[in-house]
């Protein structure tokens, strides 16, 4: 079956370090991946989209990579701050369709002083 997997364990890092979150997918051949941020009690907020022909995408302190060989996307936050503490979700659609955007379980990031 098709799966999008993220590390369910929380990631704890110190302020100023780079946080790296992983999104693995199986039985998918996605044309793109989306990344969202979700704060407690709020709806997810879109951050970045990376297409399969883009190896890397950047937005301010955020960087996303997409490795179709490893079937993996990595999400990096450089110079992390306590305000970056949240749950980060990756999502994609089955190939060839724009419907059924499916989310991973999300990884909670905690940035401490």
Partner 1 sequence: EAGVAQSPRYKIIEKRQSVAFWCNPISGHATLYWYQQILGQGPKLLIQFQNNGVVDDSQLPKDRFSAERLKGVDSTLKIQPAKLEDSAVYLCASSLPPEGSLAGELFFGEGSRLTVL
Residues interacting with partner 1, by CB under 8 A? 4, 6, 8, 31-32, 34, 36, 41-46, 49, 51, 89, 91, 93, 95-106
Residue 4 or 19: the one with the smaller Cβ distance to partner 1 is 4
C-alpha to C-alpha distances, 110 to 49, 61, 64, 96, nearest whole angstrom: 23, 16, 19, 36
| Least distance between partner 1 and beta carbon 46 (Å) | 4
Kindly report the number of other CB atoms within 10 A of residue 20's CB atom.
15
| Least distance between partner 1 and beta carbon 98 (Å) | 3
The angle subtended at Cα 84 by Cα 6 and Cα 51, nearest 5°, is: 50
Residue 17 or 51: the one with the smaller Cβ distance to partner 1 is 51
Rounded Cα distance, 50 and 86, in Å: 21
Residue 43 or 83: the one with the smaller Cβ distance to partner 1 is 43
| Least distance between partner 1 and beta carbon 72 (Å) | 17
Residue 17 or 59: the one with the smaller Cβ distance to partner 1 is 59
| Least distance between partner 1 and beta carbon 60 (Å) | 17
């Amino acid at each position: 079956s098709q799966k999008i997997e993220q590390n369910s364990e929380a990631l704890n890092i110190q302020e100023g370090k780079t946080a790296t979150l992983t999104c693995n997918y199986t039985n998918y051949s996605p044309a793109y991946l989306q990344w969202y941020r979700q704060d407690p009690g709020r709806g997810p907020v879109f951050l970045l989209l990376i297409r399969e022909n883009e190896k890397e995408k950047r937005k301010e302190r955020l960087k996303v990579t997409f490795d179709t060989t490893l079937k993996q996307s990595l999400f990096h936050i450089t110079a992390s701050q306590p305000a970056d503490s949240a749950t980060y979700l990756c999502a994609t659609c089955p190939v060839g369709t724009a419907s059924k955007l499916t989310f991973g379980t999300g990884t909670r990031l905690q940035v401490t002083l």
